[in-house]
Amino acid sequence: MSAASSKQKTNVATLKDALRQYWGYNDFLPLQEEAMSCVMAGQDSVVVLPTGGGKSLCFQTPAVCLDGLALVVSPLISLMKDQVDTLRSCGVPAAFINSTLSEPEKREIADQIRRRELKLVYVAPERLLSEQTLNFFGTAGISLIAIDEAHCISAWGHDFRPEYRGLRVLKQRFPGVGIHAYTATASEQVRQDIAEQLGLNQPRMLVGGFDRPNLSYRIRRASGKFQQICEVLERHRGESGIVYCISRKEVDKTAAGLAGLGFRTAPYHAGMTDVDRRKNQDAFIGDQVDVIVATVAFGMGIDKPNVRFVVHAGMPKSLEHYQQESGRAGRDGLEAECTLLFGAGDIVTWRRMLDDSEPSAREGALRSLEAMHDFCTSVACRHRAIVEYFGQELDGDNCGACDVCLGELDLVDDPITIGQKILSCVLRLEQRFGADYTAKVLTGSQEQRIVQAGHDQLSTYGLLREDGLRTVRDWIEQLVGQGFLEKSGEFNVLQVTDAGQKLLKREAEPQLLRPAEKQKESRTVAADSWEGVDRGLFDLLRTMRSEKATQQNVPAYVVFGDAALRDMARLRPSTLDRFRNVKGVGEKKLADYGQEFLEAINSYCQQQQVTQDVAPTIVAAKPKPSRSGVNASSIAAFELFRQGATIEDVAERMNRAHSTVAGYLSDFLRYDNIVDPSPWVAAGVVSRIEEAIGQVGSERLQPIHECLGGEIGYNEIRIVATCLNNREQ
C-alpha cells in the first residue's frame, strides 16, 4: 500500500470516529467521504449537495479532526446561530462573530481563538473582508475555509450577493489553506463561476444527486387556493411547515386566515420590521408556531430539519428556487410533502416584477420562468423533471413519490384527437390569438368579440364544449409545455410547432390530463419512516425535547431531531449502551440527555407494558381529518360571529356587502358545527322554517322559500337549514 493510500485510509477512519463520537452517525451519506477527504488533503473543492444531503458535516467533521481553526463564511445571522448551537450540543467548540454579540462577548471569542480553544468560527463575508479581521485570522492558525451558500458568489446564481465577490482575496491572504465552496443548487455554469470568482486552484467538483426521494411532489391548478392550503395543513396538524406566497399582501391575508382556523402560524416578509421578522422566525425554529407563511425572503440558511411540508401558493420564478425552497422540507431524511398551487396569473405577476431588472438579467430570468411554467404544466414524473433540468438522470421508471407516478392524475383516453382539435382551431384562427381566446372558441363561447369576428362559424367552434373552459385551457397549456404549441410575441399568440404538425398527422402523441375524480391511494415513504414507532412514546419524548429546548433557549432539534426520537420510540432501548445505538446520538448527547430520556422510555414501556429492545413493527398511520368550505376572507368574520354579531354588524365593521357577509356566516356555521340559529334568526321564524323543512326537505332552498309563501328571506332559511343539518350529523 502506498503512503498516500495509507494516509487516505487513516483519514477515513478518523472521520468515521468523529462522526460517531460527535454526531452519532456510523457512516457517510453519498459524496460526504469524497468531500471530507478533499478537506483533509487541503485540496480546493466545490461541493453541490441537495438540502438534507449533509453539506455542513462535509466541513464540520474534518474541522474537529484537523489541527487549527476552521473559518466558515456564512451569509445569515440565523444560520450561524443555528449551526453553532447544534455544534455545541454535540460537544464541538464553536462560535460565531456578528452584530448580535456585545463587545465583551466579541472579546471573549477573540481570546478563545488566541488560546486555540475553538474548532470552528462562523463569520459573514462583510465582516471577514475588513482589513482588521483578515489580519486577526492571519495569526489564528486556520485549518480550512468553508464558504456556505456559495451560489451567492455567482451572478448566474439565484441568490447573487455582491459582497461575496470580495472573497477572492482569501486565496491570497491564506496561501496553502484549502478553500471549499458548498451549495445545494448550482448548474454547471454556476459551479464554474464559483471556482473562477474564488480563484480556486484546480478544485475538485463534487456534485451529488439532485433527487430527494423522501419528498412527495404534487402540483395542482389553484382552485379555491386557501382551501387547498388548508387541506395540506390538516394532513400535518401540529407539524412544522412553510407556506410560500408571491406577494406580501397574500402572506398577511393567508397567515391571518390560517390563524383564524386555529393553526399556529406567523407571517414573514420584507415589509415587516427586522424585530418582527426575527421574532417570527425564532418562534418557527423553536416550535412555538408550526407554520410560517412567507415570501421567498424567508428560508435561506434555515437549518430546521423537521419541516414536514412546504406549500407554494403560487408558481416560483425558477426551478432553482423551487428546488431550494421545497428542499427545506424533510432535511432529516424523513417523509415530507411538497405541494405547488399555480394559476395562469402567476407567470404574468412574475413578468411584471421582472420589468425593472437589467436587460441581460431579465432575459435569463424569463427563460428560467418559462422552464418553471413548463414544469408546472407537464405530466411527466416530477422527480425526473427536476433532476433532468440539472443535467442528471433518475433511476427507474416510477419514482413512487409524485402525483404523476402515484396515479393521482387521470390521463385522457384519446389525447391525439383532442390535441388535433385544439391545434386545428389555432390554425383556423390563423395563429393570431392567445390561449384564453382559443379555449373560448373551442368551448362555444358567445362573447361579442368572438361573434363579431365570425369565429362562431369556424368548424372548430364548440368542438370541446362538453369538456368545459377550464379543462380546455389546461390542455392548451399542456400542449405548450410538451412543445406542440408555442407562445409568440408580446401577447403570447399561439403557434403550431413542428411537433404540432406531426401531431396533426397522428405521428406524435401528447399526454393530456384532467384531475382525477377521486384521489387514488398514494404509496409514499410515510409508512416506512413510522414503521415500528410507538406513537405514544414518540409524543412523550417530543414533549420532553421541547421542555429541554425551552430551558436551554435553543431550537428543539438541537436537543434531538425527529429522526432520533422516532428511532428511540422504535428501538425502545432499556440501557444506556443500547441507547447509544439510536441514530443521531453522539457521546455528548448521550452524556447530556441519555439517562433522563432512558428513564422516560423505561417508565413508559413498563406502564404501557410495551416490549423493549425488540424489532420494530408496522403501525398504520391514521388519516387526518379535513374541512372544507372556508376562505381567508370569511375567517376574519368568524370571531365576530362567535361573539353573537349579526350579519348587519359584521357587514358594517368589515365594510362588506350584506350578501357577502351572509356567505361568511354560512362558512362559520359549517366550520364551527353550530346547531343553534337563535343569535341570528328570531325563535318564531326558526320554528316556521324548521316546519317547512320537515315538509319539503332541506336539499334546495327555493322549495322552502315557496312553502313559506315567500315571506322569509333566503339568508334566514340558509342559516336554519345549516344548523339543522349540523344537528342531524
The CATH fold assigned to 410-515 is Arc Repressor Mutant, subunit A (1.10.10)
Q: How far apart are CA 461 and CA 476, in angstroms?
A: 15
pLDDT number for residue 687: 85
Same fold flag, 410-515 and 531-608: no
Q: How many CA atoms lie within 13 A of 1 on its CB side?
A: 8
Please answer whether residues 525 and 214 qualify as being in contact, where contact means their C-beta atoms are separated by less than 8 angstroms: yes
Residue 400 has a pLDDT of 83
Separation of alpha carbons 353 and 349, rounded Å:
6
Query: Read out DSSP for 447-485?
Result: -HHHHHTTGGGSTTTTTTGGG-HHHHHHHHHHHHHTTSE
Instruction: Name the residue ranges covered by the structural domains of the chain.
Output: 3-207, 215-408, 410-515, 531-608, 637-728
Residues in CB range of 129: below 8 A, 6 or more apart: 163, 166, 167, 169
Per-residue pLDDT at 599: 92
Predicted pLDDT at 310: 96
Find the angle CA(574)-CA(580)-CA(586) to the nearest 5 degrees: 145
Query: What is the helix (H) or strand (E) element at residue 606, kind and residue range?
Result: helix 595-608
Q: Which CATH number fits domain 531-608: 1.10.150.80, 1.20.1250.20, 3.20.20.80, 3.40.50.920?
A: 1.10.150.80
CATH of domain 3-207: 3.40.50.300
Please name every residue paired with 180 in a beta bridge, in sequence order, or none if there are none. 45, 146
Phi, psi of 49 (to 5 degrees): -130, 140
In this prediction the pTM is: 0.65
Which ranges of the chain have pLDDT less than 70? 1-9, 155-161, 297, 299-302, 357-361, 515-529, 614-634, 657, 659, 728-729
Question: 215-408 is classed in which CATH architecture?
Answer: 3-Layer(aba) Sandwich (3.40)
- Whether 571 and 578 have beta carbons less than 8 Å apart is answered as yes
Q: Residue 622: is it exposed, middle or buried by C-beta count within 10 angstroms (0-12/13-18/19+)?
A: exposed
Burial tier of 366 (Cβ tally within 10 Å: 0-12, 13-18, 19+): middle
Give the residue from 521, 517, 481, 485 showing the smallest Cα distance to 503: 485
